[in-house]
Amino acid sequence: MIQRVFNFYSGPAVLPESVLERARAEMLDFKGSGMSVMELSHRSDAFLTVLRSAEQRLRSLLALPDNYRVLFLQGGASLQFSMVPMNFLDSGPADYVITGTWSEKACKTAANFGLVNVVNQLSDRYTTVPGEEELRFSSEAKYVHYVSNETIDGVEFPYDLNGFGSPVICDASSNILSRPIDIGKYSVIYAGAQKNIGPSGVTVVIVSDEMLERCRGKQNGVLSYNAFAENESMPNTPNTWGIYIIDLVCEWLEEQGGVAAISRVNAKKAGLLYSEIDESDGFYSGMAELAARSRMNVTFRLASGDLEAKFCDEAAAIGLVGLRGHRSVEGIRASIYNAFPLEGVERLAEFMQDFSRKNC
Ligand SMILES: *Cc1c(COP(=O)(O)O)cnc(C)c1O
């Protein structure tokens, strides 16, 4: 008997059950090919159809205008920390907004390639995001980079950053497709698939034609965005299986009503957990400031590390798995991406009430 749990892991993360079932049903014979998707040649018509479908679905879910390309890369979001400066930094400077662990890493990596400026005030813990009026961009910035949702810290921008003339590049790994965005404000958006749109091993990069033009002459082999743009994401063998699963996840999201509809569900899910925190008389304390609370990664603390360990153990015993916070910040983290079911969030909220009653 198959026993599924409620999976709160931050990534790789939960996938829609119907997607897994579909992949299982198509595993041995994909659409009459007599092969699984993993065994298909990436140059075959059957696979090209999958890749084009995934791209089309992403385009329509994100309402992408024609002047953006959708590329499928490998190397995780982390490789983008290098590819972005390799393709766009030139002599710099580039502006980095640092609001958490991932944006800090992106900035440190870029500093290996040229001049970077940090454009917001830093504190010793990452609990908030700057208001737009606080940001002081360099006058000639090659680009502005930020992370729209800090997966580890549980901090999310409630607005689309305005570059005030500089191209905006965004790591949206953990909140892409979770809410509508104003695409016109972005020049590049990238996202490792394993949080919100598929399995690990594929990174979706959305890039404007204008930015591709800027880095056209760069000879970086498969570290060039143009190598992917000019070869339908296949200057070399892509992660065919990962792209297939992205296609299925996007189809599932269409069935849910698309990004605006899932965004309402996401707000409801996050609201349930934050209410438990706020109404617990301090038994639980949220790690992010109210205005910067993430709808994808809900982070909170209990009075002691021991109590947090007990919380995670007892939750796991009733099928609520993966709640331990990242080792760098500790505490509790409930990752509740698009595919995480409302029912699981309700179960956790109930458990939080029970646990606080028994342990206060
Ligand atoms: C997970 C994550 C990364 C790193 O992703 P990899 O695919 O492991 O390289 C980078 N940025 C954000 C916002 C993430 O959530």
Q: Residue ranges of the domains in the chain?
A: 6-13+257-359, 17-255
151, 155, 329, 335: which to mutate for ligand 1, most atoms within 8 A of CB? Answer: 151
Q: Ligand 1 center to residue 102 CA distance, Å?
A: 7
Contact 103 CB / ligand 1 (< 6 Å):
no
Contact 145 CB / ligand 1 (< 6 Å):
no
CA distances from residue 352 to 269, 275, 287, 304 in whole angstroms, order as listed: 14, 11, 16, 16
pLDDT tens digits, one per residue of 130-156: 998 889 899 899 999 999 999 999 999
Tell me which residue has its CA closest to atom 13 in ligand 1.
Answer: 173
pLDDT tens digits, one per residue of 42-100: 999 999 999 999 999 999 999 999 999 999 999 999 999 999 999 999 988 999 999 99
pLDDT tens digits, one per residue of 166-200: 999 999 999 999 999 999 999 999 999 999 999 99
| pLDDT the model gives residue 49 | 98
H/E element, 255: helix 240-255
Other CB atoms closer than 10 Å to residue 100's CB: what's the count? 25
Q: Enter the CATH code of domain 6-13+257-359.
A: 3.90.1150.10
Tell me which residue has its CA closest to atom 3 in ligand 1.
Answer: 77
Q: How confident is the model at residue 333 (pLDDT cuts 50, 70, 90)?
A: very high
Residues with a known catalytic role:
102, 171, 195
CATH architecture of structural domain 17-255: 3-Layer(aba) Sandwich (3.40)
Q: Do domains 6-13+257-359 and 17-255 have the same CATH topology?
A: no
Q: How confident is the model at residue 127 (pLDDT cuts 50, 70, 90)?
A: very high
Model-level pTM? 0.98
Tell me which residue has its CA closest to atom 7 in ligand 1.
Answer: 76
Q: What is the DSSP letter of 199?
A: -
- Is 90 exceeded by the pLDDT of residue 106? yes
The dihedrals phi and psi of 188, each to the nearest 5 degrees, come to: -140, 135
Q: Ligand 1 center to residue 227 CA distance, Å?
A: 23
Across 38-56, b (16+ Cβ under 10 Å) vs e yields eebebeeeebeebbebbbe
